[in-house]
Amino acid sequence: MSYGLLILGMALLTFIPRYIPFALAGRISIPLWLSKALHFVPTAVLTCIIVKSTLVQDGEIFIAFQNHYLIAAIAAFITSLVSRNLLLTVLVGLVCFGVLKWI
């Protein structure tokens, strides 16, 4: 089997499942209750990712002052509440995490 056919097959297997929902989106109407429920999915997924990466280390929940991820996340959260500035929030979180790792 040639590599070109293999790459083409993998490209099709990647493209088709992603294209089908967009192709059908104009023909199928989603109920209002489902549309409202799907509105919260990105926020819920992002929250799960952030909480897991912040609190879980080595397969266990780690809530302590030695958890640099948690301290930096708290600093970034407070910065976001006070300033409402995304760039400043990211910078404070990164600098706080870097300083804590360096110490």
pLDDT tens across 54-72, in order?
A: 999 888 999 998 999 999 9
The residue to which tokens 């104009």 are assigned: 26
% pLDDT > 70, the chain? 99
Q: What is the pLDDT of residue 67?
A: 93
| pLDDT value of residue 23 | 86
- Is 76 in contact with 90 (CB distance < 8 Å)? yes
Averaged pLDDT, 25-36 = 87
From the CA atom positions of the chain, what is the Rg in Å? Answer: 21
Q: How far is CA 12 from CA 4, 24, 25, 50, in A?
A: 12, 18, 20, 32
| Mean per-residue pLDDT of the chain | 93
Residue 1: pLDDT above 80? no
Backbone angles phi, psi at 57, to 5 degrees: -135, 130
